[in-house]
Chains A and B, each alone.
Chain A
């Protein structure tokens, strides 16, 4: 029975079987199964997808619309036909983002233009968010390193890379033209991979209009400086870590790391019973603020939350640029010292353009380039013959006694030092 359509014809009667059978055949099925686009929104073409052959032969099958910023054109280490003379080679330089893109000044743009004007090459910057860890990850996952040279390595970076990876991520620098000009004290890589290109000093910056900073570490523990210092988390911030390392240099590590591979550090204070953890307990007692990042700390300091902040000894350069009152941006080297953070550059072992990369490194060490880097990165040159304006030293101050840990001292110890500090400071 399938005709309950209301038409007069069918009203008031029950249809017979025959009729209903006839109708069943006569009436086409009317239910339409149509559906609109509702369901198709999920079907997304993976336009950013790429597929590459993993073997080292051939550059097979570029995925549709691969929009990578990696170097194009072959990329064969053994110099396949296409990477050759006819084309301008591309040098991919990896670095941290503020090296090329800071709101005030950064050397990236100048370096790129200058390098490209001097060499028949194109310079491409890469600034992965995880910085050098990105390349450690790439190497560890077998994805291949897609850059030629890294700019901005620290001693700790090298230690970490070497502890994590069995193979070499970086190649030995070899004979870099102009490499001799690098100051001996700055060389931090015992395996001669990283070549320093600038250095900075982590010191105290203070607002002399509200307080006078103490001369020494011990002075920071005075009551008058209670709650007066803002530092940074040594686990995440390089200034924070430098300051922590400076306290270890000063007070010794109390054998914290000797359980590991490292040797105990004796403090410069000469007191074996008082180590950096004791000092930090006292600092914490005196209300030191340890914020997350340099940004947090500097912002809080700028708002006058505390008169002193752990920062760079070049602070006045920026203050001067902004037209700020230099009295509010005074530098204090505790015990006439500051922790030195030399930055290095190194060629990736896996570089597509190792020769060009070395040419770039020697370019970075040229006197005029060194001067520009120092000014634009607001740091100090790594070479003795850098061309700097004579008044640069007035604002960018250097300590009488720079302090730093060597690669060997940090290896096997740095993690333990930071962890011991964390456990003491944040023990809840």
Chain B
């Protein structure tokens, strides 16, 4: 028993003892390192900016907040409530047809619409990917993440070329003798573009959950007399639903903080809160910008926390041993029951083709179209030429590709342990867990513009401590910043699985002598491996697509990534930028196929 507790296998030297201590405390150590990374690359930098909302000229004040909150421009009719008008009167105007939503209200409104659209377009994809077998299924699943990393200008180019007056869609409609649709510069265009970005997100998380539904549960329901629809409603849906909500919550948060794509495809009349945050920061009006950003943060975090409460209450067991068998796409028998879902998927794939494939195809087409409209490889030749002759201070394609991959790989390797440790900590129940959850998820909810400015102040300029200025920039800082942006995805994908694990699995392993960290490695992670891979893919994607923190922290052209290259290559001609965009597309697509192939072999459940 404990009388011989001092006798460990190895030597008894101080080093060995230190090692033992570190190993047994590795979870704590990891938690400390994660917190440190968050503080250095997120909390402190962000705080340097947000504090300006309440500290103006050295004095603490709430007047900036009060001004924003009572401004009908931002809060519409609600502002009147906040400025003390009677609730009844405000409610009356809210119900009237010419109510004012205010910028904040409108931003939330379009985010809700975008979320609904993303869910509506993501679910059929999840159904297809989770329940049917067809050649290229895994590759297709890997590629669903690609829209996630595309810079907004690329999406804008693809969308204008697809949905514009002279776009592919109207050309097709005209060929069919149908009237043209006027989609661009409307709220619909913005919502569809948001769905382009986020429906794949919904599809991915839902597919993962759907794949881990245990077949025997469905079979039990069927044997008890439930028809396939009933079995779906009673058994499959409750297990898939939390994942759909995950996707929906994340989509809301992303689209609530949307910025360039709204103005590119909608126009300024649809301006969101983030548009004003950007303008205010650009005009150096930090107090108002910070106040708006805090309001954004509170709303986004509120939605995330509401979702997390739901997740905590509804975690389903993930001990599904045997996944549901996939069905062939070609129906085995021409019965209505077999044909109907496939017909539905057929309709969906046409819609998905228009929505997801056509814009990307247009982007690819733009990359091989010259100024005179003829096909050309000039834009790719430009990339090669820039690579060969570009000056050292210019962005060259290969270093951008190399940096993107290296940063993304490193950020993923860092985000994984960070995400796992936070997931482990937040699946426990304790007082103040909500606070930890909120703190852990905050990087998703803070305005990217504010984070960028914060990184500039907090990291690039550094902190002055006792006459020393400690600053950080360059590759390592970029990697840490990317990991901080990406790790919440690891948390969100891994956490439901972990909390659904039978607690006695962990306890058995510990009773057998495994430390907490060792149990995570040996038991928990293998059992939620698909979720780990999914989280890794998201972390990778976030890093690949990240722009702001990269340009802020880069110490020169040698640290730039593909999105920066794309931005630099935009000129009068979009060709070079689209060519670089296609490079990004291909490199990212290949990366995901590789990541998921590597990860897929370890499928635990």
Contact = CB atoms under 8 A, between A and B. Distances in A.
Most buried by B among A36, A101, A102: A101
A48 B549 CA distance: 15
Nearest to B165: A305
Contacts of B37: 42, 44
B275 A233 contact: yes
Interface in A274-304: 284, 289-293, 295-296, 298-300, 302-304
B311 to A, nearest CB: 25
A305 B180 CA distance: 13
Contact of B278 (A67, A236, A300): A236
Contacts of A302: 574
B369 to A, nearest CB: 11
B264 A46 contact: no
Interface in A25-58: 28-36, 38-55
Q: Interface residues of A toward B: which range?
A: 35 or more
B521 A38 contact: yes
B473 interface: yes
B601 interface: no
A49 B477 CA distance: 8
A2 to B, nearest CB: 8
Nearest to B103: A428
Given A103-B576, A291-B264, A303-B160, A426 B271 contact: yes
Contacts of B34: 42
A235 interface: yes
A76 interface: no
B264 A44 contact: no
B283 A304 contact: no
Given A29-B5, A33-B24, A49-B472, A55 B264 contact: no
A133 interface: yes
B185 interface: yes
A45 to B, nearest CB: 8
Interface in B161-199: 161, 164-167, 184-185
Given A41-B413, A103-B382, A130-B456, A322 B572 contact: yes
B473 A289 contact: no
Interface in B426-463: 452-453, 456-457, 460-462
A425 B268 contact: yes
A75 B209 CA distance: 58
Interface stretch (B131-139, B142-150, B563-571): B563-571
A284 B267 CA distance: 11
A127 B560 CA distance: 12
A143 interface: yes
Contact of A305 (B184, B521, B569): B184
Interface residues of B, number: 114
A133 B282 contact: yes
A30 B9 CA distance: 7
A14 to B, nearest CB: 19
A103 B569 contact: yes
B294 interface: no
A206 B135 CA distance: 48
Given A291-B268, A299-B157, A318-B572, A29 B4 contact: yes
Given A295-B570, A426-B269, A233 B263 contact: yes
Contact of B476 (A47, A142, A284): A47
B468 A54 contact: yes
B228 interface: no
B414 interface: yes
Given A47-B475, A428-B106, A53 B260 contact: no
Nearest to A30: B9
A34 B9 contact: yes
Given A67-B555, A305-B184, A137 B457 contact: yes
Most buried by A among B457, B521, B572: B572
Contacts of B468: 51-54, 61
A236 B449 CA distance: 13
B153 A101 contact: no
A175 B575 CA distance: 44
B469 A303 contact: no
Interface in A286-338: 289-293, 295-296, 298-300, 302-305, 315, 318-319, 322-325
A160 interface: yes
A120 interface: no
A305 B103 CA distance: 27
Given A100-B394, A291-B268, A48 B371 contact: no
Interface string B408-423: 0000011011100100
A305 B164 contact: yes
A28 B284 contact: no
Contacts of A289: 185, 267
Interface in A3-37: 24, 28-36
A303 B236 CA distance: 46
B285 interface: yes
Contacts of A102: 568, 571
Nearest to B104: A428
A102 B479 CA distance: 27
Interface string A179-194: 0000000000000000
Contacts of B27: 39
A54 B470 CA distance: 10
Contact of A53 (B164, B276, B467, B557): B467
A167 interface: no
A304 B416 CA distance: 46
Contacts of A295: 153, 570
Most buried by A among B267, B270, B480: B267
A362 to B, nearest CB: 23
A306 to B, nearest CB: 9
A160 B283 contact: yes
A78 interface: no
A29 B156 contact: no
A223 B332 CA distance: 59
Nearest to B268: A290
A304 B170 CA distance: 13
Contacts of B276: 235, 422
Contacts of B391: 100, 108-109, 112
B278 A44 contact: no
Interface of B: 1, 3-10, 20, 22-24, 26-27, 29-30, 33-34, 37, 73, 76, 100-103, 105-106, 153, 156-157, 160-161, 164-167, 184-185, 260, 262-264, 267-271, 275-276, 278-279, 282-285, 370-372, 382, 386, 391, 393-395, 413-414, 416-418, 421, 452-453, 456-457, 460-462, 464, 467-477, 479-480, 513, 515, 517-518, 520-521, 548, 551-552, 555-557, 568-577
- CB-based closest 9 A-B pairs: A292-B263, A39-B26, A35-B23, A322-B371, A48-B474, A235-B279, A42-B33, A143-B461, A32-B9
30 contacts: A29-B8, A30-B9, A32-B10, A33-B515, A35-B517, A42-B29, A42-B418, A47-B475, A49-B476, A52-B469, A101-B393, A101-B557, A102-B571, A103-B571, A103-B573, A129-B452, A137-B457, A163-B284, A290-B268, A293-B264, A298-B572, A299-B156, A303-B164, A318-B571, A322-B370, A322-B572, A418-B283, A422-B268, A426-B268, A428-B105
Given A44-B479, A133-B282, A299-B156, 15 more contacts: A33-B24, A33-B515, A42-B37, A68-B474, A101-B568, A103-B386, A125-B393, A236-B263, A292-B262, A299-B157, A324-B372, A418-B279, A422-B268, A426-B270, A428-B106
Interface of A: 2, 24, 28-36, 38-55, 61, 63, 67-69, 97-98, 100-104, 108-109, 112, 124-125, 127, 129-130, 133-134, 136-138, 141-143, 160, 163-164, 233, 235-236, 284, 289-293, 295-296, 298-300, 302-305, 315, 318-319, 322-325, 415, 418, 422-423, 425-428
